Structure 1
Amino acid sequence: TEPTVLIAQIQNQSARLLKQNISLNLVGIANSKQALLNRNGITDSNWRAALAEAQHSPAIETLVEFSHDAQLLNPVVVDCTSSAEISRQYVAYLQKGFHVVTANKKANTDDMDYYRALRHAAKAQHKKFLYETNVGAGLPIIDNLQGLLKAGDKLERFFGILSGSLSYIFGEVHNGLTLSQATLKARELGYTEPNPAEDLNGLDVARKALVIAREAGLELELENIQVEAAVPDDLAQMTQADEFISALEKYDAEFQKIVTAAEAEGKVLRYIAEIDNQNIQVGIQAVAQDHPLYTVQAGENAMVIHSSFYNPVPIVIRGYGAGADVTAAGLFGDLIKTMSVETSL
């Protein structure tokens, strides 16, 4: 998982960073039940056992008090969950002097009032709110987009494959697997949610598209996005994984007809998010060989940015977008960005 890989990265790279005058200490690990806190740093790779026996509450009050008592310099909270409850605490963390680094898309796709409040709190407290991994795992999408916009560029059109899991599934379908076989394979590799319906219903991609649209200045809400799920609605709404897989197997033959029809025209199916003017739409498209997303390999993310500066030839950012390693690497990169100017890389 992302937190496991990230913790290992922090523990393994602390010595290297120290040579560059960067002191990065892991002093707390929390789950929904308890928090393991140690002002001297958590260096043991067997932290799971210690966490299971930890007596501290994971509540924000406990962590703020600990940070104060330990006199932590430049504290950062990293959110690897998908919890709306935790994302709603970001403003409080910022106000208490923490930077916030997150892979959790809930904050940036909450209502616009909270979206603005977050940025206001970060600015007022001179703290960083960083979320590169909200879109494209470890790919530098947000960073590049922010750089363009700060330079006076304007997003004119965007389209892309924003789900590593759906990229993998659709790639495997064109390699001869059925939809249910490809989905099960993706789940076994850890690319999908425990219940793959949460990938195939398209809502995760819709959230990512909304993050990008808002970066570009569009004041839209999640309900403004046109979402076409990759499977029929009755399947997309299933909450039990076993029930979903069973139903998906019955849908295989129907989906195969869509695949065969696309291949007969020399096309491939891709699950694409598109932003054009004030419209965002998410769904399956059959693309031909001259389309920028035709050659995307299974598991890759790819984004095509048409802007005032980059037109008619767009910016294309492409790379691996599935799995814990790339997301953890993106989180680690954001973590390093919270360092003060004097000690930055």
Structure 2
Amino acid sequence: MSLKINIILFGIGNVGSTLINQIVESKQFFLESQNIELRFPIITNSTLAFFEKDGLKNKWEATRGEAELSGANFAQSAIPFNIEDIIEYVQFQNLENLIAVDATASSHLVKSYIPLIQNGFHIVAANKIANTLHNDFYAALRRNFKKFDKQFLYETNVGAGLPIINTIKDLHHSGEKITKIRGVFSGSLSYIFNRFGKENIPFSQILHDAEKIGYTEPDSREDLSGNDVARKLLILARELGLETEFSNIKITSLLLPNLNEKHSKAEYSVNKLLFDKPYQTAKLTQKENHVLRYIGELDLIQKTLEVKLTSEPESSPLGQLKGADSLIEIYTNSYGENPIVIQGAGAGKEVTARGVLTDILKIASQIRVKESLFA
């Protein structure tokens, strides 16, 4: 008999909808190769939920073509919901092997993690917020996962589909002493500075191109502020046992005193040329054969976290970055001055959704092992 995994999907934006299509495409493969059936009894956006009902075809689990057309199905059948409705539904339907997938950026949903855990849910999160809130919440969350014997996986919190968190966890749990982690954590800023280093184009023009392609957030000040890189550093620091807070991270923003978050979005949009002079100066005053990179750096010896603009040799791994790739260097006692380097696409809906799917399958595998032990 196949193992049925019931996925409650929160968020049907880029990552959530891509995840659905990836599962629909590979549904038969999972059945044949792993004897696992992945189902979506509930799918939600920020305010509405689609609940699977008898006699109502759930097009999210049909063919890919139908899945892509299922927005109408959702719009016609979805209803307002709260977390209590979700919990009541799965209990009434006697659904087992529950995984809540958080493909949102919602801080409100994160507050519901503990009630979900207490009612039988494992959690897979693309959402970074739960791992960057105050240490008290961070610790309480993990106490509940342990108490109720549930899994919490979030590989995509740092580096989208890259195996950064798992690599660091494995090294740490094996007793390896990690001394430093540094790298380019932002795909959008990687793209901007990779082009800026190679091309004779104003910074503002490359920023405009990055916005147009969709590499940046709708308001690119969120990327340039350095806060997203800082959140990723904080997640890694806590994985390694540092009880630190976001406020302890030293962030050197890429924004300017006369062009920052204090200005209106309209002012910011029309004054981006102000970026050109200072960044061109920074570019021209570097050492020869160096390029600018915006990096995060976690020093485990000094216990410091820093986000900053640096000048790197073109011949170094960071200096050779291209496109919108991320690159993380992990320094350890055993590897000495030669870091472990993880490089690849650090952003994008396809790789992020695939990373979420990998976490789902890991939990499914653990559920199967436990079922076999008690069979």
Query: TM-score interval w.r.t. the shorter chain?
Result: over 0.9
Tell me if structure 1 keeps the 8 A contact 2:51–2:78. no
When residues 79 and 297 of structure 1 are mapped into structure 2, their CA distance, relative to the original with a 3 A threshold, is same
Aligned to 1:125: 148
Aligned to 1:89: 112
When residues 240 and 158 of structure 1 are mapped into structure 2, their CA distance, relative to the original with a 3 A threshold, is same
CA–CA distance in structure 2, aligned partners of residues 253 and 212 of structure 1: 34
When residues 3 and 120 of structure 1 are mapped into structure 2, their CA distance, relative to the original with a 3 A threshold, is same
Give the letter for the 1:259 counterpart.
K
CA–CA distance in structure 2, aligned partners of residues 129 and 12 of structure 1: 25
* Correspondent of 1:5 among 5, 14, 18: 18
Please give the per-residue CA displacement for 1:114-139, whole angstroms capped at 9, x wherever unaligned.
11111111111111111100101100
* Correspondent of 2:327 among 297, 302, 305: 302
CA–CA distance in structure 2, aligned partners of residues 26 and 37 of structure 1: 9
CA–CA distance in structure 1, aligned partners of residues 47 and 24 of structure 2: 23
When residues 256 and 142 of structure 1 are mapped into structure 2, their CA distance, relative to the original with a 3 A threshold, is same
Question: Aligned-pair distance for 1:238?
Answer: 4.9
Aligned to 2:71: 48
**3-state SS, counterpart of residue 26 of structure 1:** strand
Identity within the alignment, %: 37
User: Is structure 2 residue 279 aligned with structure 1 residue 266?
Assistant: no
User: Is structure 2 residue 235 aligned with structure 1 residue 211?
Assistant: yes
Give the letter for the 2:312 counterpart.
V
Question: Aligned-pair distance for 1:300?
Answer: 0.7
User: Is structure 2 residue 186 aligned with structure 1 residue 163?
Assistant: yes
CA–CA distance in structure 2, aligned partners of residues 92 and 204 of structure 1: 27
Question: Aligned-pair distance for 1:261?
Answer: 2.3
**3-state SS, counterpart of residue 159 of structure 1:** strand
Task: List gaps (5 residues or longer) in structure 2.
Answer: 1-13, 370-375
Tell me if structure 2 keeps the 8 A contact 1:34–1:54. no
Tell me if structure 2 keeps the 8 A contact 1:159–1:305. yes
Aligned to 2:358: 333
CA–CA distance in structure 2, aligned partners of residues 55 and 222 of structure 1: 37
Aligned to 1:107: 130
Question: Aligned-pair distance for 1:241?
Answer: 4.4
Tell me if structure 2 keeps the 8 A contact 1:195–1:240. no
Aligned to 1:275: 298
Aligned to 2:166: 143
* Correspondent of 1:98 among 121, 135, 138: 121
Please give the per-residue CA displacement for 1:19-49, whole angstroms capped at 9, x wherever unaligned.
1201101222211120112167532412222
CA–CA distance in structure 2, aligned partners of residues 7 and 78 of structure 1: 11
CA–CA distance in structure 1, aligned partners of residues 200 and 108 of structure 2: 41
Question: Aligned-pair distance for 1:284?
Answer: 0.6
CA–CA distance in structure 2, aligned partners of residues 130 and 236 of structure 1: 35
When residues 83 and 236 of structure 1 are mapped into structure 2, their CA distance, relative to the original with a 3 A threshold, is farther
* Correspondent of 2:210 among 179, 182, 186: 186
Question: Aligned-pair distance for 1:149?
Answer: 1.0
Question: Aligned-pair distance for 1:227?
Answer: 0.2
When residues 81 and 242 of structure 1 are mapped into structure 2, their CA distance, relative to the original with a 3 A threshold, is farther
User: Is structure 2 residue 39 aligned with structure 1 residue 15?
Assistant: no
What TM-score do you get using the length of structure 2 for normalisation?
0.86
Answer 1 or 2: which has greater strand percent. Answer: 2
Tell me if structure 2 keeps the 8 A contact 1:165–1:299. yes
**3-state SS, counterpart of residue 310 of structure 1:** coil
Give the letter for the 2:125 counterpart.
T
Question: Aligned-pair distance for 1:193?
Answer: 0.8
**3-state SS, counterpart of residue 302 of structure 1:** strand
Larger radius of gyration: 2
User: Is structure 2 residue 280 aligned with structure 1 residue 256?
Assistant: yes
CA–CA distance in structure 2, aligned partners of residues 103 and 114 of structure 1: 18
CA–CA distance in structure 2, aligned partners of residues 74 and 236 of structure 1: 46
What TM-score do you get using the length of structure 1 for normalisation?
0.94
* CA RMSD after TM alignment: 1.8
Please give the per-residue CA displacement for 1:89-111, whole angstroms capped at 9, x wherever unaligned.
21221111111111111110100
**3-state SS, counterpart of residue 253 of structure 2:** coil
Aligned to 2:11: none
Question: Aligned-pair distance for 1:57?
Answer: 2.6
CA–CA distance in structure 2, aligned partners of residues 25 and 238 of structure 1: 45
> Runs of 4+ in structure 1 displaced over 4 angstroms?
238-242
Aligned to 2:244: 220
When residues 255 and 289 of structure 1 are mapped into structure 2, their CA distance, relative to the original with a 3 A threshold, is closer
* Worse-superposed segment, 322-331 or 34-43: 34-43
